[in-house]
């Protein structure tokens, strides 16, 4: 890229298009190839999916994988920060009514309460604190909102992020093993997806005004909570439950009726991808290992076969193929998470790492002055000049 190279020409057709394809900045953590999917600092995400989750977070923050000593030191730092969680902040959640609102509301409130209890103002320290404390926030949301807080086991931060969460929920043995395997894989796959996805962009926009990491991340979680974005994983499993059969003819009937009613087919389509999302393929492959005979997983496999050819009949749909949300719900269900409305919190938990890393990069840009406050231009329409008096 040279200073005067034209990257994009804007015409009227680009207005009100959700900024689709319009370059607005640079990103060091990841990029999304329309066919090959997301790469974290150059690595296709599939190459990283079986690593320790902390090493992938280190990669996003430092732009290289850690050596063994660095990996141990990073895990130790996270464990230490996880122990120092201001528990007073978590008491805010105790005052919410069990079962009220959506779990994503609780996640956003929980992040804000942690910021209210302790914000250092140092973007790295606040990011590391938030990443380290997310497992306990998640476990508390699950148990408090579910009405069984007495099941919460004391944290064991040395276990690592995912394992500590599963431990706090009170799960042991083979069930815990399966949860750890699937959640770690899910967690790594969802950590980052370029700079322009709605939640990351929203979080960075808020951060550009020099709001705190906590305020920025709560905003990002609110952005993620919409069904066209992160909540599509919930919506997709609810689809699967409504369909209730892997019979291709029944699925076709269902999909056509949803389209006729002008409702989205969740788990399909994307703003950038133009082929099946490799994360969808990876999750389906994991399903063939952990839950090959699960009924919902079988419906997902049928959806994957049946839906693209139906969506291709609608030329306006640019990507008729599965996205990341097609299969994650069926796997989460199979390992014991039976309530689809919690699924987006896992997506949000994972993305905290990517969004924090991107905010950190933006704050360090321009020799430490940070990215300027976001302020794109909107072209005024239907506003003739008016005055109250002649
Ligand atoms: N089902 C029904 N209609 C669709 C779909 C779909 N899966 N995908 C695109 N369209 C429609 C879209 O609503 C738009 O209609 P209109 O012109 O009337 O507004 C038209 O096709 C063109 O859309 P695209 O340019 O192909 O897609 P766009 O970039 O606008 O939207 C999504 C991307 C992901 C919002 C869209 O594909 C969608 O609504 N998918 C279903 C929801 C979903 O699975 N979201 C998760 C995305 C990944 N994530 O986790 O964030
Ligand atoms: C994703 O992970 O697919 C997203 O955050 C949606 C996007 O990239 O626009």
> Could you please report the per-residue DSSP string of 152-164?
PPPP-GGG-HHHH
Q: Ligand 1, closest atom to CA 323? A: 48
**DSSP annotation of 19:** T
Q: Ligand 1, closest atom to CA 269? A: 37
Q: Is residue 388 domain-resident?
A: no
pLDDT at site 390: 76
Q: What is the CATH number of the domain that holds 266?
A: 1.10.230.10
Say yes or no: 48 and 166 in one domain: yes
Q: Is residue 4 domain-resident?
A: no
Say yes or no: 148 and 245 in one domain: no
Note the ligand closest to the C-alpha atom of 201: 2
Say yes or no: 321 and 279 in one domain: yes
Asked if residue 229 lies in contact with residue 197, where contact means CB atoms within 8 angstroms, the answer is: yes
Q: Is residue 14 domain-resident?
A: no
Residue with tokens 């056509």: 256
Q: What are phi and psi of 34, to 5 degrees?
A: -55, -30
Asked if residue 341 lies in contact with residue 103, where contact means CB atoms within 8 angstroms, the answer is: yes
Q: Where are the beta strands (DSSP E) in 200-305?
A: none
Distance 97 CA to ligand 2 centre (A): 31
Strand order in the sheet with 37-40: 30-33, 37-40, 43-44
Residue owning the nearest CA to atom 2 of ligand 1: 264
Residue owning the nearest CA to atom 2 of ligand 2: 193
Q: What are phi and psi of 128, to 5 degrees?
A: -65, -40
Q: How many distinct structural domains can be found in the chain?
A: 2
Say yes or no: 239 and 202 in one domain: no
Say yes or no: 215 and 328 in one domain: no
Q: What angle do CA 229, 231, 232 make, to 5 degrees?
A: 75
**Domain of 324, in residue numbers:** 232-334
pLDDT at site 250: 96
Give the dihedral sign, CA 12/13/19/24: negative
Residue owning the nearest CA to atom 40 of ligand 1: 269
- Please give the Cα distance from 66 to 376 (Å, whole number): 37
Cβ–ligand 1 contact at 136 (below 6 Å): no
Q: Which of 169, 162, 168 is nearest to 187 (CA)?
A: 162
pLDDT at site 327: 98
Cβ–ligand 1 contact at 270 (below 6 Å): yes
Residue owning the nearest CA to atom 4 of ligand 2: 197
Instruction: For residue 98, give every residue at least 6 positions away whose Cβ sits within 8 Å of its Cβ, in sequence order, or none.
Output: 144, 145, 146, 147
- Please give the Cα distance from 15 to 7 (Å, whole number): 17
Residue owning the nearest CA to atom 6 of ligand 2: 197
Asked if residue 286 lies in contact with residue 331, where contact means CB atoms within 8 angstroms, the answer is: yes
Asked if residue 331 lies in contact with residue 240, where contact means CB atoms within 8 angstroms, the answer is: no
Say yes or no: 151 and 292 in one domain: no
Cβ–ligand 1 contact at 90 (below 6 Å): no
Asked if residue 196 lies in contact with residue 93, where contact means CB atoms within 8 angstroms, the answer is: no
Say yes or no: 289 and 350 in one domain: no
pLDDT at site 90: 87
Q: Which of 332, 358, 352, 354 is nearest to 343 (CA)?
A: 332
Residue with tokens 């150059």: 42
Give 3-state DSSP helix, strand, coil % of the chain, rounded to 5: 55, 5, 40
pLDDT at site 4: 84
Task: Residue count of the chain, please give it.
Answer: 390
pLDDT at site 312: 98
Say yes or no: 277 and 302 in one domain: yes
Q: Ligand 2, closest atom to CA 229? A: 6
Q: Ligand 1, closest atom to CA 319? A: 26
Q: Is residue 67 domain-resident?
A: yes
Distance 269 CA to ligand 1 centre (A): 5
Which residues of the chain register pLDDT less than 70? Answer: none
Say yes or no: 193 and 285 in one domain: no
Kindly state the tokens that stand for 361.
């990069």
Asked if residue 357 lies in contact with residue 131, where contact means CB atoms within 8 angstroms, the answer is: no
Distance 144 CA to ligand 2 centre (A): 29
Distance 293 CA to ligand 2 centre (A): 29
Say yes or no: 181 and 278 in one domain: no
Number of neighbours of residue 3 by Cβ within 10 angstroms: 4
Say yes or no: 101 and 178 in one domain: yes
Q: Is residue 31 domain-resident?
A: no
Catalytic residues: 229, 270, 325
Say yes or no: 325 and 190 in one domain: no
Cβ–ligand 1 contact at 266 (below 6 Å): yes
- Please give the Cα distance from 79 to 157 (Å, whole number): 5
Cβ–ligand 1 contact at 116 (below 6 Å): no
Note the ligand closest to the C-alpha atom of 37: 2
């Amino acid at each position: 890229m040279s200073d005067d190279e034209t990257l994009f020409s804007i015409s009227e057709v680009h207005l009100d298009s959700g900024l689709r394809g319009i370059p607005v900045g640079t990103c060091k953590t990841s990029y999304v190839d329309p066919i090959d999917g997301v790469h974290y600092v150059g690595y296709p995400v599939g190459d990283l999916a079986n690593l320790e989750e902390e090493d992938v977070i280190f990669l996003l923050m430092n732009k290289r994988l850690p050596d063994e000593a660095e990996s141990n030191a990073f895990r130790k730092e996270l464990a230490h920060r996880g122990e120092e969680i201001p528990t007073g902040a978590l008491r805010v959640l105790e005052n919410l009514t069990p079962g009220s609102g959506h779990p994503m509301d609780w996640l956003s409130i929980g992040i804000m309460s942690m910021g209210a209890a302790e914000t250092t103002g140092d973007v790295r320290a606040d990011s590391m604190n938030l990443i380290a404390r997310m497992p306990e926030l998640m476990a508390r949301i699950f148990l408090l909102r579910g009405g069984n807080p007495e099941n919460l086991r004391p944290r064991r931060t040395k276990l690592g992020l995912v394992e500590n969460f599963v431990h706090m929920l009170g799960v042991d043995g083979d069930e815990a093993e399966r949860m750890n395997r699937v959640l770690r894989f899910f967690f790594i796959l969802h950590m980052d997806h370029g700079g322009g996805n709605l939640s990351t962009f929203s979080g960075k926009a808020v951060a550009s005004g020099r709001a705190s990491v906590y305020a920025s991340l709560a905003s990002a979680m609110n952005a993620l909570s919409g069904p066209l974005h992160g909540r599509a994983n919930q919506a997709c499993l609810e689809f699967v439950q409504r369909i209730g059969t892997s019979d291709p003819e029944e699925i076709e009937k269902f999909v056509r009726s949803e389209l006729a009613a002008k409702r989205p087919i969740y788990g399909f389509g994307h703003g950038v991808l133009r082929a099946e999302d490799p994360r969808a393929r990876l999750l389906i492959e994991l399903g063939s290992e952990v839950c090959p005979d699960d009924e919902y997983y079988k419906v997902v496999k049928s959806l994957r076969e049946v839906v693209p050819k139906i969506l291709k009949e609608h030329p306006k749909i640019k990507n008729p193929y599965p996205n990341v949300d097609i299969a994650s719900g069926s796997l989460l269900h199979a390992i014991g998470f039976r309530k689809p409305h919690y699924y987006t919190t896992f997506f949000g938990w994972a993305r905290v790492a990517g969004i924090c890393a991107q905010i950190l990069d933006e704050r360090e840009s321009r020799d430490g002055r940070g990215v300027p406050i976001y302020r794109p231009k909107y072209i005024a329409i239907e506003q003739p000049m008016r005055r109250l008096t002649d």
